[in-house]
Amino acid sequence: MRKQIAILGSTGSIGTQALDVIERNPEQFQVYAISANKSIDKLVEQARRFRPEVVCIADETLYEPLRDALSDIECKVWAGADSIAQMVTMPSIDIVLASMVGYAGLKPTIEAIKAGKTIALANKETLVVAGELICKLANEYHTPILPVDSEHSAIFQSIVGEGQNAIEKILLTASGGPFRNTPYQQLSAVTAKDALKHPNWDMGAKITIDSATMMNKGFEVIEAKWLFGVPTSKIQVLVHPQSIVHSAVQFEDGCIKAQLGMPDMRMPIQYAFSYPKRLKSDFPRVDFFELHGGLTFEQPDLRKFKNLALAYEAMDKGGNMPCIINAANEVVVQAFLKNSIGFLQMSDIIEKVMNRATFIARPTYEDYVQTDKQVRQLTLELC
């Protein structure tokens, strides 16, 4: 039986690569449901190509255009955030790929967990915002969460088969982004166009900016804490410009296991879909003889990439502070993309918001919702 897959955020970078993986393995996987935020043309194209059972658009104003565009094919057309959350609970779905960007991915992921679906998690903000709640629900409903981020997939692959062997340290690699070698003094002049030129990965705009500020890596530290049950003090970030070593795990005997591969998101996506099996692929292979510069590792510059330090601070504070930093970051990234604020201003504004927003030590789901709303308004005012 083919695994039936729902893709949340099918028109984004992860979603389109997931569809490529499915298309390459038609005997293994089938698209059951797809959703997008506003990209109606691309969503229509995907619906015609993969013929899912359900097609959903988050923007309710686009429901009628979507319905009309798909009137000649057999599928259910839904609209709205609540419909996406309902879609993931459908009985036929085996795997939910949570690849929506940002806070919007939280509610449907929670509903998918409660419905007992295997979660292929590409939306790191879900664990950043509400990691404690998500882990509690996953345990309660016996729902597996398989990481799709290349770094967390690498960590997961490194601990498979290790049983109860304790992790001494997680080595979380980072490319360093486009400004790894840019002097701090020059960062105030960089533009969104500059920041969107990632040296190794092809990602959406928001994630690419997060990579340039290293907030992406800060979020991955928080995500790793929840996924693998280790304190942030045992998670070390290494800048690895070649993006070949996707991450590693050091065990108590001093041995280190790492997962290597070309920077191609289709590999961790396919592994999450097929786990515990590995499927044959024709994805590009690492040729060590072509790595003329070798594999290098550096310490991150926390003055230049202040967001990484702020993420550690948020996780150490706990409570709703990671939710605060996520909401503030989503707002400042959009402001930067619109050229409303400068590159270095993003971390300055986030820090101010962390100091001013209401802190809640033991937040409920409703607290997360209110925190997100409050922080977005506060951040907009500071922008």
What pLDDT, on the 0 to 100 scale, is given for residue 124?
A: 85
Q: What is the pLDDT of residue 202?
A: 66
Q: What's residue 104's pLDDT?
A: 83
Instruction: Name the phi and psi angles at 342, rounded to 5.
Output: -90, 170
Which structure tokens are listed for 191?
A: 């533009």
**Cβ partners under 8 Å of residue 193, min gap 6:** none
Q: What is the pTM of this model?
A: 0.92
Residue 114, pLDDT score: 97
Q: What is the CATH number of domain 3-148?
A: 3.40.50.720
Q: Among candidates 161, 121, 156, 158, which has minimal Cα distance to 138?
A: 121
pLDDT at 201: 64
Domain 318-383 in the same topology as domain 3-148: no
318-383 carries CATH number 1.10.1740.10: yes
Number of H helices, E strands in the chain: 15, 11
CA gap 230, 226 in Å, rounded? 7
Domain boundaries, the chain: 3-148, 160-262+295-315, 318-383
Give the pLDDT means over successive 10-residue stretches in the chain (383 positions).
Answer: 96 96 98 96 97 97 97 96 96 96 88 97 90 94 96 97 96 93 92 83 80 94 95 96 96 98 96 97 95 93 94 95 96 95 96 97 94 97 95
- The single-letter code of the amino acid at 188 is S
Per-residue pLDDT at 157: 98
How many whole angstroms separate alpha carbon 104 and alpha carbon 302? 29
